[in-house]
Amino acid sequence: MKKPLVIGVTGGIGSGKSTVCNAFVSLGIPVIDTDQVARDVVVPGSAGLAAVATAFGADVLSAEGTLDRVALRRIVFSDPQRRRELESILHPRIRARVAELLQEITAPYCLLGIPLLVEGGKKNQQVERVLVVDCPEEIQIARVMARDKLTEQEVAAIMQTQATREERLSVADDVVTNSSDLAIVQHQVNALHARYLALAEHR
Ligand code: ADP
């Protein structure tokens, strides 16, 4: 069977990645969420969680045996070497699981949601095109304040840790502008759907 064309979807927090992915799902296109995969590879009983506990100690496990993300974040937050160590445990497992999920796809193309695709630096080997969901920063802030019940300062602090709008747009093959109503998002998604089907067909 022909492999699906893989479109990486990225965008800043609150730009509308989930909203755009849902618009593709409504057209029957499968979406793999790498944030979800990152959680799946460290579920209790997994080899991933065992490897993290071996490297970082039992302090990163909760009483119920789940990963204590807050404790882990505290360790890696200000220590780039430990962060790289964590990534060297998680990234190969995430890649392998994504590869398995891709094998199961029968649609001509699919989306792979990677919130921090640009921040990851080197080109992601598993995606052939990059779709950036873009909106002005004021709108991003207002959406995240409403969705996550955060203050403007808290949202701004998260955005500080992410790539800038310009950095993201500079790697985009395609862009969905999500700065007005949802009908306009669906309209752009419909046009991209036609383009991706044609690209998948002709490659
Ligand atoms: P992301 O996945 O990039 O963090 P979401 O898709 O969750 O962003 O969107 C952030 C919030 O803004 C959500 O609560 C969503 O329902 C809302 N939202 C996104 N796009 C629109 C839009 N065009 N109009 C109104 N609300 C929107």
Q: Which domains does the chain have, with CATH numbers?
A: 1-30+109-203 (3.40.50.300), 36-104 (no CATH)
Output the pLDDT for position 118. 94
The list of the chain residues with pLDDT below 70 reads: none
Give the torsion through C-alpha atoms of 104, 109, 112, 117, to 10 deg.
140
Which of 18, 116, 150 has the most ligand 1 atoms within 8 A of CB, as the residue to mutate? 18
Q: Cβ atoms within 10 A of the Cβ of 190, count? A: 14
Instruction: Give the C-alpha distances (Å, rounded to integers) separating 40 from 4, 8, 35, 67, 102.
Output: 23, 19, 9, 11, 16
Residues in the chain: 203
According to DSSP, residue 33 is labeled E
Q: Using one digit for the tens of pLDDT, what is the confidence trace for 68-87?
A: 999 999 999 889 999 999 99
Ligand 1 neighbour 49 (Cβ under 6 A)? no
Best CA proximity match to 134, nearest among 19, 32, 30, 28: 19
- Confirm or reject: Cβ of 17 under 6 Å from ligand 1: yes
Main-chain dihedrals φ then ψ at residue 105, nearest 5 degrees: -80, 130
Task: Measure the CA–CA gap between 155 and 160, rounded to whole angstroms.
Answer: 9
Predicted pLDDT at 2 = 83
